A and B are shown apart, each in its own frame.
Chain A
């Protein structure tokens, strides 16, 4: 029930914030702050009160209620370590998003906070739901408010960026919906039980051809959201045109829903098809790492630059996910969290600069180290985090990912490592251009004030903590990562006898029911596939 409350509080808070705008202009900010604090507090309590490593099952809390029984749709939420970490990140960044908008947003404050809270509610839903219909539902819910955040409060070119963001994500989402429906009917035809429940659908036996198609349906949605290189073009526009809070949520959270989707759905649902696709996915990841880094280096718009670093960092995520081992997935989870923090922080700094200078062009900046030392130090920390300096969170993430991916594919890992060097180049360029060189600005640059320090200090503390003592995060994530990897780590000899027993019993039914679609595919051949690929 507490899981439902997380979503309800955010949604109700959003509505309340909108209404309270009629009473007082400042009230929506407090309402938003209050509701995000409340859910953050609840999630922290959940984390601290549940000793995760001791538990046998990965699932901490589950909630399930029939929603549309005719279609087998349930309002089903569940929390495991992975979801818990994602929620903590969501609410932490949500809190920061409210705080940084305190001075930045002056128009339609009430509606802004409504949208902000509903985006967070949608993201919370995505991280919690265990029903595929509900997942798609929340997946879409988070788009509309995000569209408004970019389209109403963004910078000059906001409408173009908002359209592009919306259409890319919507189109890919619809393909995922088709894949979900395909899975639903295949499972229904096999077992006679029509359900969207994640746990039930995990047990679907798929013909290799069907598995491949369905996996691509899911992949498209997640790869666009992540984004992976050929589908990334919405990201720089959306990130650079959004208001600071929007950029933080986009980079920190929305991209993570893509990564989360890969971990939670693609890996366990399609264990054979993913193995086939893995080299290509990893290749895409490496291309993303290098391409993102090169483009980041050549940007002059600070927010666009940071946006391209996201493309580069997200390359590590896909590289790690398709390595199929615990090292890499731990790295991916770490990367999701640390990237959310470090990139969020860089966007916040870009926001601070824009508030003072009204430009994002780094060619016009320079020499701010002497005028704004506090800002310089904060920026230096996060730039170092972004390039993967040991002692800061991102180092752990990238190190683990590379260790894991080395076991899966040596050569691609070598190229991915080159990306780290390039990260150093573009990151140092940020510092060089903004804080060193000669100052070209006449106007004075006030240093960070108390409110801004209040935002920056917790982020610095978090990124240091993640870099120096990541063990609690790794422990929290481990059970659910093992759960996601079950289909891959199972010894092959264990799997084969099970399948062999099944074949004679199910063979006839299988061919009869889905024979129209894949008449040439028969069960034994699909077993062969599993055996071969898992070796």
Chain B
């Protein structure tokens, strides 16, 4: 029922949207679109993002994986704005991986809106201009005398108007305009408004399909057994009992893994429980207690300096300091705990491979499977459903290659579903680490030198350019790596998620010790960075100070209320400035977080509703993990494997949050992550205000201050 003529010129790459190459192919929408169910109207691709059918239905493609960050709604809003269509009448379709049509089909680094802002606007505006040109040609008027509104082209002088649907076929035949004009922000009708998540109705009725819901003819469900401890190897296994379990069809093994395939998920999981496996000796494997000791030994070795940033000369500055303040901060491992556990559908056939499922990096998944199976990328199709959370875990594609390998060995389409225990024990954690800080102060209590010396499990655990870098004449950041079989990786706001806590707690500590208001202390440093910048300065001191002033107004900072304790923190990440104030009250003999205030400068806000919920959620996520998050290991084996022993923040602990955005017309900056990092620090600083005690290791629940 669908004839899909692919004309290689029928798209524009997002990176070269204005550059043209935009020629229209006569395509029919694929079977999943509402219009093709009516199967009457011809659909034309105006470009890679815009399809309009002859009935006027506008479809906007969403090329990035939607993991809850709201891009499936926000990115089409950008296109729709410039195209000038009625938001209520468009439909949005998730695109699969298509490296020819799209670039950066990634969910990560808070980068989708940042990188798509200009090209998506151009894509919308180019499409709009083509429709205008088609109308102008028909009416024999100057295109410049035409305007557009809500899916129609108007010619005010003659009072003529035509809908996009009637123009699209003609527009297709016209040359692609270059350097089209973009709207002035004052004319925005969609950008900056509150638009509900496009998939809401499907989510609240249960009709939306996640990867875990994939069902195909002949598909088997697969459960997997990984080594129980990091560093363990599979020696031998016995699957005779597993194969007797009802519903179990096959057992396959590869690398150090065993997979059980069955006709249902639970039967596969039961089959996996019935496998008897022998693993290599674990007596030499490390426990988290050993890591803490080893970290300290590494940091104590004087020869272990490895500067990531060096401004001035800290050695001299510390030698001549009037006062030196030191502190040490400890970060635990954190699993990502996406609510939808890792899963993937794979169908490896002779003629090609179909991959479908939740992944933040579909292109990497494609190339990893290509390498693993020796099948060219062109033969590997990757589709992306709506995804039940990412938080960085799905930047890796280990679960995709597993699914592909299982499908290949079993010669069947499979849906691999990790049990929660596999997921929590599945590694790629936020690295455990130890962060040491030293600050040198002069006679007047000014910060003259800063030394950050840290070690973390695998990879650089620090961020060398974050504040107060740029504001301190002598600064050095040494970040060391500790190799371990425990796999680590990005976790929402990588490194920032802990660095913001350690830096902003330490700054608060210094301010109190030199008897300065912590906010004033930071504002003075920012003024220093503005007047006398040292080395590279990533942040904008004025915008940084802007969010700080805003949040202090919101929270009434400096106007004490009895029984209310406030803590302040600010952090710059993913090009966004954020300041937060956490408010604590006493509840019996415990503390309770009563409110969090937050000011954000992320440039232009695309979807106000989506932006607000991202920041609110990020703050509660940051507080939840600072309070409760910790994964420990005993001889390489995770001690927490499910939510009975691993505590995540719940409704009753979630504080009230108030978020305000600085209004400006700057380019949009990152938003999925920046709300999270300051939250833990603002909380720790509030705890200090309430108790006089500095908490320097997470999770804070161990302090006994919270219930």
A binds B: no
Give me the interface of A with B, judged by CB distance under 8 Å. none
